Amino acid sequence: MNKTALKVHSRFDVDQVRADFPLLSRMVHGKPLAYLDNGASSQRPTAVIEAVDDYERRHHSNIHRGVHTLSQEATSLYEAARDGLVRFIHARSRHELVFVRGTTEAINLVAQSYARPLMKSGDEVLITHLEHHSNIVPWQLMCEQTGARLVVAPMDQHGEVHVEAVEALMNERTRLFACAHVSNALGTVLPVERLVASAKARGIVTLIDGAQAVPHMPVDVQKIGCDFYAFSGHKLFGPTGIGVLYGREEILERMPPWQGGGDMILAVTFGKSTYNALPYKFEAGTPNISGAIGLGAAVDYLAGLDLDGAHRHEHALLSHATTTLGRIDDLRIVGTAPGKASLISFVVKGVHPHDLGTILDEDGIAVRTGHHCAMPVMDFFKLPATARASFAFYNTFDEIDRLAAAIERARAIFA
């Protein structure tokens, strides 16, 4: 099969890396694009685009059941992508890696298949105040269905979640603890290893929402020790509509399937069906084959990068942005926890975030504005919305300087 040759960058060089991402060289409103909305979705390198293109042009067929050549090729590309992702997060085996649509679907799967059959009135699910709606609403639905209660651990004025504050809410009723690895609205990195250890010591099952972590830091699910870890392909330089649920094999074995249909069964009669082995028990129906192959290509691409260099570059970007934006009068950074990931939420007095986003767009600068699917975080800071610049390793210092200049332009317009 014509697999795209893996490009290797031995030393991190932002100009070289940018050349791998075709979209970064486009113009917006006559200005070079400065793409600072990576927290919402990141761009794809040529390696991902070509892997999907090659699959669509040469290998597409349905997987697993066909004896013909195309079906076998598609199956081996899909399963090779799974193997790449197993290595990427250091899962123990391919049985632990379920392809899903994204983080949202992964968390819903756990809420419905793990938690719902187990929970009863009086039981508690513990989350934190800074969660994305995807790590709130699936638990609320499950609580409505079972009579369980949702308990929320606090954060402080910096957007930091303290281990002791979470531990104080863990008790004999707590059946599950779920939290973000990195907050999408604030950039806070949560001490997930310590939180998981605290939960484990009390027999509490753990889920980590890794949507914002996997693009920014090495993730080792065995080291974290969690039972479940969820993330999305499109924030990890891969396609949309594909993501991963990691689950410890022992716990996935005990769970009933979430959805029924093709591929997740061994045998079906009208009286009874028996279920396929892991991970297929949780992959009912024809999956997003090209998406999985694209995501596999994304982690192969990352494996060819100097990731330490990339992470150092991101930290330098964050530090430059914090200093540069910090100098702007009337600009307030929201989320100031130490050791943040590379994103900055901010508000500018007198300029509504949506107006700010529109003015920045005129200058070719893409940032996100709104509640970032984290309304409880906005309520906590008594804000309707913020603007958020979120960086990837392909961003530059010059883009941050342009961001600062465009914010000054917006201030002048609304002065």
- Burial of 203 by CB count in 10 Å (0-12 exposed, 13-18 middle, 19+ buried)? exposed
Pairing between strand 386-390 and 273-275?
Answer: unpaired
Q: Is 54 in the site for ligand PLP (CB under 6 A)?
A: no
Q: Which of 222, 256, 186 is nearest to 96 (CA)?
A: 222
Of 45, 84, 102, 287, which one interacts with ligand PLP (CB under 6 A)?
102
Q: Is 104 in the site for ligand PLP (CB under 6 A)?
A: yes
Our answer to whether residue 373 is catalytic in this structure is yes
Of 48, 126, 166, 180, which one interacts with ligand PLP (CB under 6 A)?
180
Q: How far is the CB of 210 from ligand PLP (least distance, A)?
A: 8
**Judged by CB, which is closer to ligand PLP: 104, or 395?**
104
User: Interaction with ligand PLP in 318-377: which residues (CB under 6 A)?
Assistant: 373
CB atoms closer than 10 angstroms to residue 213:
24
Rg (CA), the chain: 22
User: Interaction with ligand PLP in 127-146: which residues (CB under 6 A)?
Assistant: 132, 134-135
CA angle 224/103/394 to nearest 5° reads 80
**Judged by CB, which is closer to ligand PLP: 153, or 211?**
211
CA angle 366/369/371 to nearest 5° reads 150
Number of residues counted as binding ligand PLP (CB under 6 A): 13
User: Interaction with ligand PLP in 369-398: which residues (CB under 6 A)?
Assistant: 373
Of 212, 290, 324, 345, which one interacts with ligand PLP (CB under 6 A)?
212
CA distance to 51, 292, 309, per residue, from 6 (Å): 11, 17, 19
Q: How far is the CB of 328 from ligand PLP (least distance, A)?
A: 26
**Judged by CB, which is closer to ligand PLP: 107, or 404?**
107
Q: Is 209 in the site for ligand PLP (CB under 6 A)?
A: yes
CA distance to 27, 380, 393, per residue, from 361 (Å): 11, 28, 21
DSSP assigned state of 276: P
In angstroms, rounded to a whole number, what is the distance separating the alpha carbons of residues 212 and 246? 15
Of 232, 324, 342, 395, which one interacts with ligand PLP (CB under 6 A)?
232
- Residues designated as active site: 373
Query: Residue numbers of the site for ligand PLP (CB under 6 A)?
Result: 102-104, 132, 134-135, 180, 184, 209, 211-212, 232, 373
